[in-house]
Structure 1
Amino acid sequence: MSADTPRRIVLLRHAKADWPQVSDHDRPLSERGRKEAPAAGLKLAETGITFDLALCSTATRTRETWKLAVQELPHRPKTVYEERLYEASLGELLALLNETPDEVGDLLVIGHNPGMHALADALAGRVEGDALARMNRSGFPAAALAVVSFTGSWKSVEHGVGTLLDFWTPADH
């Protein structure tokens, strides 16, 4: 793929988690989260994007979200469980994107807030329709996803490089 290849990044926040007496990293999905994750998977399938790679946080709730969501996809992408996604800052998230191999066209990131919201907001130099207003109004709730497109290499990903194409929450379906 050349440097002017159009690419897409989909940022998916994990579905609603429970609060049992375990470490934050080990929190599982709640009953509501186990319903939201497949709905997010259906939305991912509706985008028509065939992901080349999925980066998923190692936290229990993100792994459970991905396990339920991926079942709704027609094609299972290569998945890398990335511990640096857990509690990642905006700068750390951008650095992870910059490490993505250039043969990856479309990337799915399954992570946490406030990182997913901050990254979607930072990448969105341009917006289609009311996607940004809806994202900012909702605050990027559990199982929400944002679709951002950009042209260039992964090493060129920085603030304002992309177009926010869509934003979806489980309340939208």
Structure 2
Amino acid sequence: MKTLTLLRHAKSGWDDPVARDFDRPLNAKGARAAETMGRHLRGLGLAFDLVVASPAVRVQETLDHFAGGLGETLAPEWDRRLYLASEATLLDVVRALPDTAEQVLLVGHNPGLEELVLLLAEAGALRQDVAEKFPTASVAVLEVAPHWSEARDGEATLVRFIRPRDVDPSLGPDFG
């Protein structure tokens, strides 16, 4: 089985005066959440053979902070198709992943990431949690078919869904 880890970019700064949404940076809480999630995944022993990410500024900054927490240098493949991608586009990207990669980290945006989890994952409590909300800096880990090209609707197992507030309550919606 292949392992697909989905990371939604961390909380971005809506107050920053940028001309394009693509250029919106993280805010301080987002930077802290991304690093916290990286540290948490390091503690779980998760590693990645391949990282594919949207080139949006907030995704780049998320990965920088996430890598710091993970304690690893990540060398993402920047894929413009991931910027605000639909679940159909994301599924195309997943199905085209090289079979030499066993553990892939895909980093992007909602609603596409949430919809991809709901498309791929079989029914269960974790899937229901994702359906309620896939907050910024959250991580979903799915086990998919033995070959990326065989990823099918409803056939993946959602083995983890971790929100920043699950790791550090101060990163929840009630805190600044």
**Fold match, TM over 0.5?**
yes
CA contact (8 A) 2:117 2:127 kept: no
Q: Distance in 1 between matches of 2:29 and 2:71?
A: 24
User: Of 69, 80, 83, which residue of structure 1 is paired with 2:80?
Assistant: 83
Secondary structure, in 3 states, of the residue corresponding to 2:84? coil
Q: Distance in 1 between matches of 2:72 and 2:58?
A: 22
Bigger proportion of residues as strand: 1
Q: Distance in 1 between matches of 2:131 and 2:157?
A: 15
Change over 3 Å in CA distance of 1:27–1:77 after alignment to 2: closer
CA RMSD of aligned residues (A): 1.4
Change over 3 Å in CA distance of 1:151–1:103 after alignment to 2: same
Q: In structure 1, list runs of 5 or more residues that go unmatched.
A: 1-5
Q: Distance in 1 between matches of 2:44 and 2:5?
A: 10
Equivalent residues, number: 165
State the partner residue of 1:52: 49
Secondary structure, in 3 states, of the residue corresponding to 2:76? strand
What per-residue deviation string (whole Å, max 9, x for no partner) do you get for residues 15-55 of structure 1?
A: 00011221100000011111111011112213312210011
User: Of 6, 10, 16, which residue of structure 2 is paired with 1:15?
Assistant: 10
State the partner residue of 1:124: 121
CA contact (8 A) 2:10 2:34 kept: yes
State the partner residue of 1:34: 31
State the partner residue of 1:99: 96
Q: Distance in 1 between matches of 2:84 and 2:48?
A: 24
User: Of 111, 116, 140, which residue of structure 2 is paired with 1:114?
Assistant: 111
Secondary structure, in 3 states, of the residue corresponding to 1:125? coil
Deviation at 1:142, TM superposition (A): 0.6
Q: Which runs of 4+ in 1 moved over 3 A?
A: 74-78
Q: In structure 2, list runs of 5 or more residues that go unmatched.
A: 168-176
What per-residue deviation string (whole Å, max 9, x for no partner) do you get for residues 88-131 of structure 1?
A: 1111000001111110000001100001100111110254xx32
Q: Distance in 2 between matches of 1:122 and 1:70?
A: 28
CA contact (8 A) 1:16 1:30 kept: yes
